[in-house]
Structure 1
Amino acid sequence: MTTGDRTVWTVAAVHAAPVLLDAEATIDKACGFVAEAGERGIDLLVFPEVFVPGFPYWINLYPPADLFGMHARYRGASVEVPGPLVARVQDAARQAGVNVVLGVSERDGGTLYNTQVHIDDEGTLLGIHRKLQPTYAERFVWGQGDASTLSVFETRLGRVGGLACWEHTMNLARQALIVQGEQVHAGAWPGLQTHRGMEESFDLQVEAMSRTHALTGQCFVVVAQNPLTDDMVALMEAELGPQTIQPAGGGWSAIFNPDGTTAAGPHTGPEECLLAAEIDLTAIDGVHALLDANGHFSRRDVLRLWVDDEPKTTLASAPHPTEENDD
């Protein structure tokens, strides 16, 4: 929950590339950004989608039959939550006094999930959000999350939730966060601006969905993306061969106010930075004078959202027989 009467906080998007397929090195980089955030007085730091160990761009660039080896490498570089690598970020968050939303490829048993890890400024693992629906070729890599992780978390600066990439097109998923009182939204994305056929559309999609969520949810939205670097392209091409579908480049990060206006950015291109902005939670109250998606503007008598938040497992226990139906 928020501290005292403080309403003004500083939030930031990590606009940076991972060390693709190297979880240890990328965690080192993440911890460095957390330490920098602490030095700059940043209260919340949002990382791009699956920053650890990076987005598997090859899934959209090569035939599926050629990808088994890269998928196996990616599985090996994915992380457990909780686990030793995430614990390093927790320790960095505690030392810096920074809340963190970290995108990871999470390994749980034999399945990978596209996951956002929520850590508070005391280093506590608050919980996770697993992407509900991997998009297109992402389904080769990640399993589906369920609504047990479609959550908003209490932090010192307010109620923080998040979604990954085209999950933002799932309007009911966004509404599920809105009705939980989300105040700050962590929007995690890869950089797809240079992908053939998306050069003119991707930035527009990200901006449109982010501004829409800010206004319809009356919340601040932090958009974090990574550029695709020459090193990342070289790694993929060394393993899989040349490709002309997605050259290096891209990256678009920004922060939006609850009325849909821009608080910071967009920051684009290869230059890495922490894109920061001050946010004042009283701005949410100002927009609520016009509309409240969790109150008078929800029309609860007409429209209600039902969410099945039971964790989905492969084992369900049948009810035990009672004395009345033993026979």
Structure 2
Amino acid sequence: MDSSHLDYSRKIRAAAVQISPVLFSRDRTTEKVLDAIAKAAKEGAQLVVFPETFIPYYPYFSFVQPPVLMGKEHMRLYEEAVTVPSAVTDAVSNAARSHAIVVVLGVNERDRGSLYNSQLIFDADGTLLLKRRKITPTYHERMVWGQGDGAGLKVLDTAVGKLGALACWEHYNPLARFSLMAQHEQIHCAQFPGSLVGQIFADQIDVTIRHHALEAGCFVVNSTGWLSPEQVAQITTDEKLQRVLSGGCNTAIIGPEGNHLCPPITEGEGMAIADLDFSLITKRKRMMDSVGHYSRPDLLQLQLNSQAQRSLIDERLPETDTTSNPQYAPLPEISYGLFQSLT
């Protein structure tokens, strides 16, 4: 779709889900996802966003256990992780198609011997449009997940408009955010784990997502997870450590002018729902379009390597052979100073 002909007159309804997993169970957590999709659709939502690595659960154990002691829990996460494609992705795809709803879902993805923090985006017809991996796991997460690459930094044409997504502290990488902004995302889907660090994390999430909405001139639909006190006790019996597995929840929907479009959810399970009026994007960008009239590509440009990284490249195929080996296919140019390159 030509970005100069985007429809800014439409209105859609979005839902951000704050929800707790069924700890240690991929299948039962998937059932909660399917139930929430149906509930969001019943409320008229055309887009539903779930928390970071929600299936089977965020690796909270890595936040409270030293690496030398977390092998058992790490292995259990391997056993319950999601492969793509699988029965889990088939079930979510069927639900998206059945309810004609776009689904953004965080999963622990298992790819043979590695785990990744992955975001799956299903269109309203059930098509899995994108599987993207968090480009840099944060601090304790580096003992759990591998790194993603630039292949997932894409804005997608979906049934609800041009949609992009990042997970958690990827929002502290301004160039990652700019790569989506320059592709003219209209809706940005953000995911955080929730139930971490306390109120300071909830406050930081609020600042982060509102700033992105203002800077990008887009809507932000943000989902965080939640743990009950009983679930916290399942993760650790140390009362001092239990205190750091609380708070940090801020499920919210933000407009292009940085305002909340519905009350945020900061505790317990629930669903934030709001109508997104795309004319507000134009209203914001008329004043400040950070990838248009307010940009200076003659001074500042972003170079994005959107090539999927591989451990093995078959050099028997010449680099000019773009038909039999898409790895060497030329990459499209993105406007407003965002360029593609191969390394």
Answer yes or no: same fold by TM over 0.5. Answer: yes
Match for residue 143 of structure 2 among 132, 140, 143: 140
Aligned residues: 314
The one of 272, 276, 291 equivalent to 1:275 is 272
Distance 1:92 1:30 in 2: 10
Q: Could you say which residue in structure 2 is the equivalent of 1:231? A: 230
> Equivalent residues in 2 for 1:157-168 (5 A)?
157-168=160-171
Q: Which residue of 290, 294, 298 maps to 2:291?
A: 294
Deviations 1:110-169 (A, max 9, x none): 111101100011111111221000000100110000001111111111011111111100
Aligned in 2, Cα 1:233/1:168: closer, same or farther, shift over 3 Å? same
Change (3 A) 1:321 1:103: closer
Note the 1:6-85 alignment, pairs <5 A. Answer: 7-85=10-88
SS in 2 for 1:263: coil
Residue 306 (structure 2) aligns with: 309
Name the counterpart of 1:215.
214
1:261 correspondence with 2:248: no
Shift in Å, 1:4: 8.0
Q: What does residue 191 of structure 1 align with?
A: 194
Q: What is residue 123 of structure 1 aligned with on the other side?
A: 126
Unpaired runs of 5+ residues, structure 1, are 323-327
CA deviation after TM superposition for structure 1 residue 288, in Å: 1.3
Contact 1:3 1:156 in 2 (8 A): no
Q: Which letter maps to 1:214?
A: A
- Taking the aligned partners of 1:27 and 1:134, their CA distance within structure 2 comes to 23
The alignment partner of 1:206 has SS state of helix
TM-score by length of 1: 0.91
Question: Which of 93, 98, 103 is matched with 2:96 structurally?
Answer: 93
- Structure 2: gaps (5+ residues): 320-343
Report the CA distance between 1:235 and its aligned residue: 2.4
Aligned equivalents of 1:37, 1:121: Cα separation in 2: 13
- Mean Cα displacement is larger for which, 136-145 or 255-264? 255-264
Superposition TM-score, scaled by structure 2 size = 0.87
Match of 2:241 in 1: 245
Evaluate the alpha carbon distance shift between residue 68 and residue 285 of structure 1 in structure 2; reply closer, same or farther with a 3 A threshold. same
- Structure 2 counterpart of 1:169, one-letter code: Y
CA deviation string 1:266-288 (max 9, x = no partner): 11112x11210001011101111
Matched position secondary structure for 1:123 = coil
Question: Which whole-Å CA distance do the structure 1 matches of 2:287 and 2:160 have between them?
Answer: 23
Q: What RMSD in Å do the two structures reach over aligned CA positions?
A: 2.0
